[in-house]
Amino acid sequence: MQTHNLGYPRIGGNRELKKACEGYWSGKISLHELQSAGESVRRNNWEVQKEAGIDLIPSNDFSFYDQVLDLSMTVGAIPERYHEVILKKGNNELDLYFAMARGYQKDGLDITAMEMTKWFDTNYHYIVPEFKKDQQFKLFSTKVIQEYIEAKNQGLITKPVLIGPVSFLLLGKEKETGFDRIDLIKNILPVYLEVLKKLEDNHVEWVQFDEPFLAMDLNDKEKDALVYTYGEIRKAFPDLKILLANYFDCFGANLKTALSLPVDTFHLDLVRCPSQLDDILESGLLKKRKSLSLGLVDGRNIWKNDYLKSQKLIEKAINAIGSDRIFIAPSCSLLHAPIDLELEDEKGLSAEVKDWLAFAKQKLQEVKELGTLTEEKLAKNQASIQSRNKSKLIHKNEVKERIAGLPESIDQRKSPFSIRQQKQKMALNLPLFPTTTIGSFPQTTEVRSWRAKFKKGVLSKSQYNKNLESETIKAIQWQEAIGLDVLVHGEFERNDMVEYFGEQLDGFLFTKNGWVQSYGSRCVKPPIIYGDVSRPSKMTVDWTSFAQSQTEKLVKGMLTGPVTILQWSFVRDDQPRKDTCNQIALAIRDEVIDLEKAGIKIIQIDEPAIREGLPLRKSDWQSYLDWAVKAFRISASGVQDETQIHTHMCYSEFNDIIENIAAMDADVITIECSRSQMELLDAFGEFNYPNEIGPGVYDIHSPRVPARNEMYALLEKAVQVIPESQLWVNPDCGLKTRGWEETKSALIEMVSAAKLLRESISEPIG
């Protein structure tokens, strides 16, 4: 049996790539230094995989920002608004690339960034390709070829990874009406063939095509596009070895189509869908000489592989088709896993818990060991599995009893929204189109240094708190000065919106270097939920109350919702996710009630991840939505009618779950809207969404500062869809990652846009 890997984390063990990109964006390092940093990460990744004994090592899995954006550059899917960037003196291909990802605001140009959304049901964000009717494609970037040659010069014959043309088109959006983006398949395929020809000229053996839409609901036209695509590729390259990768779910109804494709190896995600191995072996559709790649090692979680379970699947496949037709692999790219468990010390992870875990580097070793499993390795692995199963750290009877005893009405507010809204208007006394922000303010190098010094014991707790109090007071005073209506305390005490809460909840563990890429240079360090969850004490009340004491205006309490905490953590796999989510919901509910008792009248419970948790196939949605929506309602429903509950969601398509969003019954929902130019708001208007809405009017993931008139134009669109009495004005998301200068400029413009709208509201809009 051979081993292979689908992809490896590209941020570097110490986030070298993040630091290099941010250094280049700020002008602190040169293009050459940035490219050298990328080369170093690639070289190290290949070496790690070679040392682990992986037979087929991927190339082109590296990216300076996003692999989908990389492919947009490769096939020349570059929106016209960016063409001027490359013409500006001193700019290069990477400047164009970053302009598409982040926007561009210099040299007399002011260009918005491309839309960004979640990669299937993960917390990774990709840059959405833009397509026009009859769009033509041409080879623009040769990155995939260059990196194959680079690895070859290093002595490695790699397996280049490409997002398949069907999935690439389906990942994008039509920017004109009257056509279906899948109809562009015949236009884009020649570029793929050109890339493959250049790879063939450099003696490529294997190419991995990722077609993750095979895990989605596909219509007949999309299935036909797959058949056409791989038929044409095989016709042009009869000797090329093709590995077709599907992950995150089964092939499902696409199985017959997939197995008919003229490829050499089919990759199966047997972590998400172990039953599909039986489906394939029993179907009789797997032709002779076709191989199977068994995705046995979980690429999306951190628990050690249970070799005994994996061994049974391997033996089943061997008995059916023979060991020479089997590859062992992770379930998906290891992009979604932290890099190296060896970087963790016992201050963060005890030896007992560390023995239960495997990060990306260790998962490579698991893949290799599964291919050559000995009795000794199996026994050692099973000792770790049993240690975790029997550990007394995991279970708490009081938590289980509380869950078991929940009353039916636990998720219901006291009154319907129509009554609550009137009471809240009287209690809060806000103007038309109230302005607010989503929660966090920029965390400067100075603020982060305080936290680091405090954790190291260099800064005392009293001095640390004094510094944070000073920063909070400045933020409150500045918000008052520019005229924001509902203020936030800025969250200067918080490291991450999930990590901060997990650190204060029982049942969570944290790593020191368990970084995972979220988008671009943005990395997160997901908590590990290892046991039953409860809240030992108040988490946010003190800082929120302090901020409220500094102003007569309303200050929002800021919490992360149970579904998002679940989704953005590495979750225990020994009980249903629903049960873990309800435990978190009760902990957040306790905090909400304590905030209300402390006099906080507006409480925001962020749920940006609720849609990303959807199963990939619609037939599986309702079960998830039932428990996810209920978990949010459990967290939010313990307060009086006068207390206003907000929630926030970003980078989600809402059209198909709008009824479920309404069922969450938040008094106010704030959503990302600016990159899509308010497209996302249409779903709320068509549905006649009953509660209040704050559509984001500027994109915080881009450094550009939009002008007042740009935001006013978006608000004009919003008023066409949302009743005036229901409309809030806010940015797309929290401002933690932005700089103060751009934040201040943008918020001043935003408040000005809201005031202009109030002044003009007596006149017809539009």
User: Which tokens belong to 222?
Assistant: 């999309």
332 annotated ligand binder:
no
440 annotated ligand binder:
yes
Residue 730: how many other CB atoms lie within 10 Å = 27
User: Which tokens belong to 603?
Assistant: 């409480």
118 annotated ligand binder:
yes
Q: Are 15 and 36 in contact (CB under 8 A)?
A: no
Distance of CA 388 to the CA centre of its chain: 28
**Is 701 a known active-site residue?**
yes
Distance CA 627, CA 573 (A): 17
**3-state helix/strand/coil string of 30-85:** CHHHHHHHHHHHHHHHHHHHHHCCCCECEECCCCCCCHHHHHHHHCCCCCHHHHHH
What DSSP element (H or E) covers 579? helix 577-597
18 annotated ligand binder:
yes
439 annotated ligand binder:
yes
686 annotated ligand binder:
no
Alpha helices, H only, 598-680 = 621-636, 658-663
523 annotated ligand binder:
yes
Burial tier of 288 (Cβ tally within 10 Å: 0-12, 13-18, 19+): exposed
Close Cβ partners of 464 (under 8 Å, ≥ 6 residues apart): 450, 451, 453, 454
Residue at 259: amino acid letter: L
Q: Are 669 and 443 in contact (CB under 8 A)?
A: no
Residue 485 falls in which region: left (phi positive, over 0), alpha (psi -120 to 50) or beta: alpha
Beta strands in 247-340 (DSSP E): 265-269, 291-297, 326-330
672 annotated ligand binder:
yes
**3-state helix/strand/coil string of 542-567:** HHHHHHHCCCCCEEEEEEECHHHHHH
648 annotated ligand binder:
yes
> Residue 125 phi/psi, 5° resolution?
-105, 140
Distance of CA 124 to the CA centre of its chain: 3
> Residue 634 phi/psi, 5° resolution?
-60, -45
Of 578, 677, 655, 570, the C-alpha closest to 611 is: 655
Close Cβ partners of 297 (under 8 Å, ≥ 6 residues apart): 271, 305, 310, 329, 330, 331, 358, 363, 366, 367, 370
Residue at 350: amino acid letter: S
**3-state helix/strand/coil string of 690-706:** CCEEEEECCCCCCCCCC
3 state SS of 747: helix
667 annotated ligand binder:
no
Distance CA 406, CA 183 (A): 52
Distance CA 686, CA 345 (A): 53
733 annotated ligand binder:
yes
Distance CA 604, CA 476 (A): 17
Distance CA 105, CA 99 (A): 9
552 annotated ligand binder:
no
612 annotated ligand binder:
yes
Of 551, 585, 518, 558, the C-alpha closest to 646 is: 558
What do you get for the CA distance between the two ends of the chain, in Å?
65
Radius of gyration of the chain (CA): 26
Q: b/e for 48-82, b at 16 or more Cβ within 10 A?
A: bbbebebbbbbbbbbbbbbbbbbbbbbbebbbeeb
704 annotated ligand binder:
no
Distance CA 699, CA 465 (A): 31
Q: Are 588 and 505 in contact (CB under 8 A)?
A: no
3-state class percentages of the chain: helix first, strand second, coil last, to nearest 5: 45, 15, 40
15 annotated ligand binder:
yes
> Residue 750 phi/psi, 5° resolution?
-65, -45
466 annotated ligand binder:
no
* Catalytic entry in 4, 489, 646, 701: 701
661 annotated ligand binder:
no
Binding region for L-homocysteine? 438-440, 491, 606
Binding region? 15-18, 118, 123, 438-440, 491, 522-523, 568, 606, 612, 648, 650, 672, 733
Where in the sequence numbering do the catalytic residues fall? 701
Binding region for L-methionine? 438-440, 491, 606
Binding region for Zn(2+)? 648, 650, 672, 733
Binding region for 5-methyltetrahydropteroyltri-L-glutamate? 15-18, 118, 123, 522-523, 568, 612
